[in-house]
Structure 1
Amino acid sequence: MRLPYTICFIQRNHQILMIHRKKDPNKDKWNGVGGKIEPGESPLAACIREVREETGLRVRNVAFRGIVSFNQESGMYVFTAESSSGEIRASEEGELEWKSLLWVMTSPDATTTLPYFLPEVLGANPPVEHAFTFIQDGAEYGDIVDYEMRPLRTEWALVEQPVRI
């Protein structure tokens, strides 16, 4: 399975910074900030770069919080962080807004996977894999048909340590 993406949930004053995506996947939905890992780049470095590019923020207390996988084919490294400095600014990826956890968990405008894994990611439990199975129609993922939390594979556990910047 390939893990070519990162996602970060940035917290400030009991709110989470969300991006209203202009592009697929999840176009027109609210999600955490993230993107593709570039060749030779670590997941952590990609997370920090994507946050800076998409939000203008510098973050601190960046912590690896698990993996989200899709149909055992692809996935993303999940991080949390705290807002450190800078004003948020929209990018070509989408608009940004601070949202309450309740809003994220209940809004039909947020991506459908968030209620399954976000509380665990924001909690104090050790990182795990959040494995989703979707109905697949060609290259597009459809409705969620199964969700399971699994222990992390050894190779993924290498990015577990929090980073203070």
Structure 2
Amino acid sequence: MIKYTICFLKRQSRFLMLNRLHPPIMGLWNGVGGKLEPDEAPLSGVLREVLEETGIPLKSAAYKGMVTWAIDGASHGGMHAFIAEVPDDFDIKTPVLIDEGILDWRELEWILHPENAGVPENLPFFLPDMLAGDDCFHYHFCYSNGTITSHEKTPLSEAILQSS
């Protein structure tokens, strides 16, 4: 069972990213999200997390799939991934320090730059696909000694999507 959510908040070509103050991925820029509460649906959880961390009252977010990972051969974790447009009438002054880290806008070109060591290593493998279309995928990453050793992208079936 996947216990976490992540949302990439978009406005034109920029994304509101979080530079995390705490592990995991401390010091890296990533989307906003967090742990699902017991019996909470992924969409409800991500909308709650976005509101708690940014103050942005989203009405919806587009489900884009799941990102899971295994470390040294053992299943380790996963998150439901979403993309959402920040409402034009919502103004957030950045950079801003919150409990989880620093929120600031980043251009997509910067996020996906091949020499960018400031984002999670797996982000460039799944974010472009999530932005490109309506299909949902399961992205699975295997790590050894902190480095991606392999990754797979599998389409999610309707049955999986309806149970998410």
* TM-score, normalised by the number of residues in structure 1: 0.86
Give the one of 130, 134, 139 matched to 2:143.
Answer: 134
Report the equivalent of 1:104: 111
CA distance in 1 between counterparts of 2:159 and 2:2 reads: 11
2:17 aligns to what?
Answer: 18
Query: Are 1:122 and 2:131 matched, yes or no?
Result: yes
Supply the distance in 2 between the matched residues of 1:159 and 1:87 (Cα, whole angstroms): 34
Structure 1 residue 158: Cα displacement: 1.4
Between the aligned partners of 2:55 and 2:2, the Cα distance in structure 1 is: 25
- Aligned pair in 2 of structure 1 residues 27, 151: CA closer, same or farther (>3 Å)? same
CA distance 1:134–1:155, change in 2 (3 Å): farther
Using structure 2 for the length normalisation, give the TM-score.
0.86
1:144 to 139, 145, 148: 148
Contact 1:54–1:90 (Cα < 8 Å) also in 2: no
Kept in 2, the 8 Å contact 1:56–1:86? The answer is no
Q: Post-superposition shift, 1:23?
A: 1.1
2:47/2:59 contact within 8 Å kept: no
Q: Report deviation, 1:74.
A: 2.1
Unaligned runs of 5+ in 1: 137-141, 161-165
- Percent of residue pairs identical: 36
Equivalent in the alignment of 1:74 = 77
For the residue of structure 2 that corresponds to 1:58, the secondary structure is coil
**Residues 58 and 86 of structure 1 are in contact (CA less than 8 Å); yes or no, is this contact kept in structure 2?**
no
Structure 2: segments with no counterpart, 5+ residues: none
Question: Secondary structure of the equivalent of 1:59?
Answer: coil
Q: Deviations over 1:13-61 (max 9, x none)?
A: 2111110001111001000001000112110011001101111112254
Q: State the distance in 2 between where 1:28 and 1:79 align.
A: 22
Q: Name the CA distance, whole Å, in 2 between partners of 1:21 and 1:159.
A: 30
Task: Give the counterpart of 2:100 among 84, 93, 100.
Answer: 93
| Distance in 1 separating the partners of 2:97 and 2:63 | 25
Distance in 1 between the 2:32 and 2:85 partners?
13
Q: CA RMSD in A?
A: 1.8
Greater Cα offset, 37-46 or 72-81: 72-81
